[in-house]
Structure 1
Amino acid sequence: MVVRTIARLTLATLFGHRRGLLLYVLPAVLIGLSLLLTFTVDDKGDLAKAIMQQFGLAVILPLVALIAATGAISSEIDDGSIVYLLSKPINRSTIILTKALVALGVIFGLGVVPIVVSGLVLDPGDVQTALAFGVGALAAGIAYTAIFVALSVMSGNAVTIGLFYSLLWESLMGQYVDGAKVLSIQQWSLALTRQLADVPVDAAVKLPLATLLLLAVTLAGLGLAISRLRSLTLSSAE
């Protein structure tokens, strides 16, 4: 009952603000671009893979994850409404994990699924690769959720910091700077995609290390978020 209430309030918070509109705009842009390219480009070649990786996985997914994960809790901390949850006998881990799961559900529906759809629109004959990118995107979405939820609890500037991280590190350096690729969630998820895809996919990290890093970042992020929320007093939340 408590989990259901927290989930319902989190969804209301996510979609009750104007920035929640971006959760619809971003996947719409991805799918719209894919449809446009389908009708305007004759030689598609590796176009589907390029769009899913360089635009879907590198740009759309981290931005959707940022909006969903920070919106799940930072708004309540900023306006002080988190005090109502903190005043109840509810485990802090229950609060964080419930909000993280709600955010992940939104990321799956508005971040992962559109990537798969864009791949199928551009190359209907290669379902395996589209699904492989979907699996990789889901793995990345889990890690992003943990990072951005932790950032939301630890900093009042979570959205700004997360935006710089998403656009500069994941979207730019994570694609083009060799040294930075090893520390990019995008590259870790591509290692998983490469294992499942029907076409060659480049990844800067091997699958065993990528899996270990994804798991470590997820656990560390959620652990930090829970620890920080436990130390957040009612007065500091108001």
Structure 2
Amino acid sequence: MYHPTVARLTYRALLGRRRALILCALPALLLVVAAAVRAMNGADDAVTSQLLGGFALATLVPLIGVIAGTGAIGPEIDDGSVVYLLSKPVSRPSVIVTKLIVATGTTAVFSAVPVLVAGFILNGNSQQLAVAYALAAAAASIAYSALFLLLGTVSRHAVVIGLVYALIWEALIGSLVPGAKTLSVQQWALALAEKVAGSGADVNSAVALPTALVLIVVVTVGGTLFAGQKLRTLTLAGEE
């Protein structure tokens, strides 16, 4: 299902100058904030959890997911260049799966790795918090990539909708409203962080780990299937 040519074209589009600057700026901001917090407060496990859980997982990861997920296919649909791709002997499910892999990899690299580094800066990985939150960011990257890739195939306003989702639902509603937490990717990722860090760490999720893993799988598989189905409905010029 993985197609190297599609992957190469997608990486080239995602890592173009403008997107690359944004993708680098967000992790850089996290590292600067982490260094400043460490300088002011010293090594503090509670502060580390607040920053990595409240800022990194709730805001940084979904924003990077929006950029990578929608950028993997949305611009090609908007400018019509996807027609050229679909005219080649490449199955449409293969196109979607390849773009999902690229989007997931890009999101994970620009979110999980900086989260890991920020965790070591903040408290030297005390209570395994750096590793726990990095794994949580990687898990969230999978769900966000599938979700925003689907959004990129169904709407020409995918970036705007994705930003609203990331900044309002994940960063605000999904973090504060009890009933909405079950449907928050951030909370699913926190369930993994809670398991890795252990009961002694200040990491809490509103969703049990088995439920969180099932929901991540459902969103990833469902989003990929729906995106593939949507891509199948796109017709090339001259097709009946």
- TM-score computed with the length of structure 1 as normaliser: 0.94
CA distance in 1, matches of 2:82, 2:221: 23
Q: Secondary structure at the match of 2:156?
A: coil
Separation in 2, partners of 1:125, 1:225: 38
C-alpha contact 2:43 2:123 (8 A) present in aligned 1: no
Residue matched to 2:193 = 193
Give distance in 1, aligned partners of 2:125 and 2:160. Answer: 40
Residue in structure 1 matched with residue 21 of structure 2 by the alignment: 21
Corresponding residue of 1:12? 12
Q: Structure 2 vs 1, CA of residues 106 and 127 (structure 1 numbering), >3 Å: closer, same or farther?
A: farther
Deviation at 1:19, TM superposition (A): 3.3
Are the structure 2 counterparts of residues 125 and 58 from structure 1 closer, same or farther at C-alpha, using a change threshold of 3 Å? closer
Shift of residue 41, structure 1, vs aligned partner: 2.1
Displacement after TM superposition at 1:235 (Å): 4.1
RMSD, aligned α-carbons: 1.7
Q: Figure out how many residues of one structure are paired with residues of the other and give that number.
A: 236
Q: Once the 2 structures are TM-superposed, how far is the Cα of residue 111 of structure 1 from its aligned partner?
A: 0.8
Partner residue, 2:140: 140
**Alignment TM-score, normalising by the size of structure 2:** 0.94
Change (3 A) 1:127 1:235: farther
What pairs with 1:22-41 in structure 2 (closer than 5 Å)?
A: 22-41=22-41
Distance in 2 of aligned mates of 1:201 and 1:40? 22
Deviation track 1:37-91 (CA, whole Å, cap 9, x = no partner) reads 1112247341111111001000000000110111111111111111111101211
Which amino acid in the other structure matches residue 16 of structure 2? G
Aligned equivalent of 1:51: 51
1:150 and 2:163 equivalent? no
In the other structure, the counterpart of 1:131 is: 131
- For 1:40, the aligned partner's letter is M
Given that residues 20 and 67 in structure 1 are in contact (C-alpha distance below 8 angstroms), is that contact kept between their aligned partners in structure 2? no
Q: Is the 8 A contact 1:188 1:211 kept in 2?
A: yes
Of 212, 215, 220, which aligns to 1:210? 212
In the other structure, the counterpart of 1:73 is 73
- Once residues 207 and 125 of structure 2 are traced to their aligned partners in structure 1, the CA distance between those partners, rounded to angstroms, is 28
Instruction: Note the 1:99-110 alignment, pairs <5 A.
Output: 99-110=99-110
Structure 1 CA distance, aligned partners of 2:116 and 2:107?
Answer: 13
Task: Write out aligned runs for 1:159-178 (5 A).
Answer: 159-178=159-178
Question: What is the percentage of aligned positions where both structures have the same residue?
Answer: 44
Rounded to whole Å, the distance in 2 between the matches of 1:116 and 1:52 is 9
Aligned residues of 2:127 and 2:197 also touching (Cα < 8 A): no
* CA pair 76-38 structure 1, distance change in 2 beyond 3 A: same
TM-superposed CA distance for 1:20, in Å, is 3.3
Note the C-alpha offset of 1:231.
0.7
Residue 135 of structure 1 deviates from its aligned partner by 1.2
Partner Cα distance (2:224, 2:45) in 1: 40
Post-superposition shift, 1:200?
Answer: 3.3
